[in-house]
Chain A
Amino acid sequence: MRRALPALAAALALALGTAALAGRPALARAAVAPIGPPPVDGPALYEAACASCHGFDGRGVHDQGPSLLGAGARAADFYLRTGRMPLANPHDAPVRTPPQFTDAQIRALTAYVASLGGPAAPPIPRVDPAAGTLAAGRSAFTDHCAGCHQVLARGGIVTGAIAPPLREATPTEIAEAVRIGPYLMPRFTTRQIDQSTLNSIVRYVEWAAHRPSNAGGWGIGNIGPIPEGMVAWLIGIAALLIVIRLIGERSPQ
C-alpha cells in the first residue's frame, strides 16, 4: 500500500495535467512578420495571413476555414479587432487576444474582405448606447445573453467552450458579435433584437461590465455565491477563529 500511493498520486496528476493541456486554447500567432513599416495592402495581407485557411479567393478551405464571401466588413472588423483572427490552428478556440495587426492594416483587410461579398455584404454596424435605456437593456440581455454570459456580463461556460466576460468589448464589437454570432455564439437578427434594443443592450453591457451598482460594498467579482462563501470562510470564520484563539487557552494549564 505504501508503494501504491506515490503511483496513485502520479496517475491522478497525469490525468489532471492532460486534461488541462487538452483544453488550453493556443495563442494565435500572425503568419507574417513584417520587416520595416507594416504593409497596408489588403489583398497582400490577406494572402499572407488568411488565405491558407480561408482560401485564396475567400471561398474557404474544407476542414480549415469557412468561406468569407458574404461575411462582410462586419465580421472581418470583429475578428481582427478582437485578435481572434488570424488563428494559428483551426481547431483552437478563437479567444480575445491583442490584435495581430495595426489599425490601418485592419481597415485594409476589412475593406478587402468586404469587397469579396459584393454590395450585400454586411457593413460595420452602428450602435448608439446613449439612445438605449438600462431597463430595456437589462431585460433583453437577460432574455438572450445571460444564459451564456451571466446576468452581469461576467462570462460563463457552455459545454465545450467559454462564453467570455464582456469587460473589454467595445460597443461596436458587441453589436458585431450580436449580429454575427462568432465562433459558438448564436446570432440575432433585427427581428429578434432591433436597433433600439441593441442600443440598450450595449448600454447595459457597458454599465454592467464597468460600473454596476455595487451598493453593498466590495462586489467580489459580481459572480455570486462562490466568492461569497469564500469570504464567509476565509474572512468571517478565520477572523472569529483568531478571536477565540485569543480568548481561550491553547493547552490545559
Chain B
Amino acid sequence: MSARRDGTPPPGAETVRFIDERVGASPLLKQAMRYVFPDHWSFMLGEIALYAFVVLIGTGTFLALFFQSSTEETTYHGSYAPLLGARTSIAYASAVRLSLDVPAGLLMRQTHHWAALVFVAAITVHLMRVFFTGAFRKPRDLNWAVGVTMLMLSVLEGFFGYSLPDDLLSGMGLAIAYGVAMSVPVIGGNLAFLFWGGEYPGVHELASRMLILHVWILPAAIGTLIAVHLAQVMRQHHSQFPGPGRTERNVVGTPLWPAYALRSLGLLLAVAAVLFLLGGLVQINPIWQYGPYEPWLSTNGAQPDWYLGWLIGGLRIMPPLEIRFWGRTWIPNPFWGGAFFPLVVFGTLYAIPWLDRRLTRDHGRHELLDRPRDNPQRTALGMGFFAWVAFVFFGGSADRVLIRFGFPYEAQIWVARFAIFVVPVVVYLVTLRICRELRRSEQHPLRGWSGRRVRRTESGAFATVAPSEEDRAGP
C-alpha cells in the first residue's frame, strides 16, 4: 500500500532481502505483521504480566551479579550503623551491601521486588478476566491450565526470592514453610528433611538450592510456559467480544504492524516506568532495618508478601485441630491453612474448564466471549469463590485491624471463621441477582419504569394516558 508511484521499492526492502536470502522468513514476517489483535483494553492484562516478567529478568540479572547466597557467618562492617559489628550470614550482608553501598543497587533491588508484586497481581487480574469472560473454554482450556501453573510457579518463585537475603522477616517465613512442609500427612517429615537437608534450619546448601531455584529452574520453567502460552494464543488467535462484524470464525481488530506493535511496546515501557518509579520512590522490603534472622528471634507484625497473604490468613483462622491417634500425628495443624487450603484453591482453578463443561453442558468451541452478565451462574460462582479466598486473606491482617480500629483480635478470628463460609454465599446471591437485573434491564429498558405516559391531543395539549399492562410490569 505504501508502494511508490514511480515503482521504486519501498524503504527497507534491502534489509528484508538480506534476511530473506538467509532465513526465508518473508512469508512468516508477512503473516506476523498482518496478525490481528482484538482491541479491548482488558485483553492487555496478560501483557502487563509479561512485561513485568521482562523487568524481573532484567533487574534480576543485575542483582545476581552482586548477591552472594552463602549462609556462612560474617561480621557486618558496612555503612549502616545499627548493624555494625553484628554477626550475619554472608547472604544478608551482601544483600544489605547491594542495597546501601552499590550505586543504583537499591533501585534495582526495589524495582525487582515491586515487579514481583505487580507480576502476580497482573496474573491474578488477567486470570479473573479470562474466567469471567469464559475465555478458558475450548480450545483454550489447555492454555488455562498452563496459566494456572504459571501462577503457582510465580508464587513459589517470589517466595524463594524474598527468602534469599536471610533477613528476620523472611527467615520467619521460611520457618513457617518448614512447619507446613512437616505437616503434610505421613510424608511431611521426609519432605521437609529432603528440602532442608535435615532438621531446620537445615544444611548450608539450602541457600544454594533456593538460589538455583530462584535464578534458574523456576524462571526457565516460567519462561518456557510463557512461550507455550503465547504460542497457543497465536495459533488459536485471541478471543473477542461479540459485536459488529464479529463471528466465531473471524478476528476483528488492529493488525500488529504498525499500530499494535507501537502500542504494545509503549505498554512495555509504561510497565517498566511504573515499576522503576515505584522502585526509586517507594521503599519495599528494607532488609537492613529488619536485621539478620536467627531461629530464636521474632518480630511482631511479620507478614509474607501479598500473594502469600491468603496462606497466613488460613494459618491464623484455623482452629487448633490436629488429627492424632495411635500415638502419631496424622494431620498436624499447619496442613489445613498452609497446604490443604491452597490445594483446594488450585485444584478448583485447574478444574474450572471441566466444571464449566459439566454445569453448562456445553462442549462446543467458543471464540466469542461472554460478558460476565451473560452467564450469571458462572459469574456468581466465581465471585463467591474469589470472595472466599479474599476473606481468608483478610483474616491474616486482623492484627492491623485491631491496632487501627480497635476490634479485639480473638473476636475477629471467630467472626472470620464463620464469615468465610457465610460471605461467599451472600456474594454469590448478590452477584447472581445483579447479573440478572443487568440483563433484564438491557432487554427491557423501560422495565419497572415509573412515570407518566402522555399523549398530545389535537388541540396541542398533553393528556395523561392510563398506564398499560407493560408499564405496570415491575422487577
Judge whether A243 and B406 touch: CB under 8 Å.
no
For B48, the chain A residues whose CB sits under 8 A away are: 240, 244
The yes or no answer to B386 lying at the interface (CB within 8 A) is no
Judge whether A157 and B41 touch: CB under 8 Å.
no
Judge whether A150 and B299 touch: CB under 8 Å.
yes
| B420 CB to nearest A CB, Å | 12
Q: Which listed residue (B275, B284, B402) contacts A216, Cβ 8 A?
A: B284
Binds A, one of B238-246, B322-330, B331-339: B238-246
Per the 8 Å Cβ criterion, residues 207-241 of A in contact with B are 207-208, 212-220, 222-226, 228-229, 231-233, 235-237, 239-241
Judge whether B289 and A244 touch: CB under 8 Å.
no
Binds A, one of B22-30, B78-86, B177-185, B216-224: B78-86
Judge whether B303 and A162 touch: CB under 8 Å.
no
Judge whether B300 and A146 touch: CB under 8 Å.
yes
Judge whether A212 and B299 touch: CB under 8 Å.
no
For B302, the chain A residues whose CB sits under 8 A away are: 224
Q: Which listed residue (A22, A159, A219, A228) contacts B117, Cβ 8 A?
A: A228
Closest to B398 in A: A157
Judge whether B40 and A252 touch: CB under 8 Å.
yes
Q: Which listed residue (A16, A25, A248, A252) contacts B242, Cβ 8 A?
A: A252
Q: Chain B, 277-304, contact with A by CB distance < 8 Å: what is the 0/1 string?
A: 0101111111011110000011111111
Knowing A214-B286, A237-B118, the reply to whether A249 touches B303 (Cβ < 8 A) is: no
| A197 CB to nearest B CB, Å | 14
For B375, the chain A residues whose CB sits under 8 A away are: none
For B397, the chain A residues whose CB sits under 8 A away are: 226
Give the interface size class of chain A: 35 or more
Q: Chain A, 1-34, contact with B by CB distance < 8 Å: what is the 0/1 string?
A: 1000100110010011001101111000000000
For A250, the chain B residues whose CB sits under 8 A away are: 40-41
The yes or no answer to B191 lying at the interface (CB within 8 A) is no
Judge whether B299 and A19 touch: CB under 8 Å.
no
The yes or no answer to A148 lying at the interface (CB within 8 A) is yes
Q: Give CA–CA (A199, B411) in the complex, Å.
A: 39
For A22, the chain B residues whose CB sits under 8 A away are: 408, 411
The yes or no answer to B58 lying at the interface (CB within 8 A) is no
| B133 CB to nearest A CB, Å | 13
Q: Give CA–CA (A157, B403) in the complex, Å.
A: 7
Closest to B292 in A: A142
Per the 8 Å Cβ criterion, residues 420-463 of B in contact with A are 422, 426, 429-430
The yes or no answer to B34 lying at the interface (CB within 8 A) is no
- Top 5 closest pairs, chain A to chain B, by CB: A252-B243, A156-B300, A229-B306, A248-B41, A216-B283
15 intermolecular pairs with C-beta atoms under 8 Å apart: A9-B426, A15-B415, A16-B415, A133-B81, A135-B84, A138-B83, A143-B297, A151-B290, A155-B403, A207-B82, A215-B286, A220-B283, A232-B306, A240-B274, A249-B40
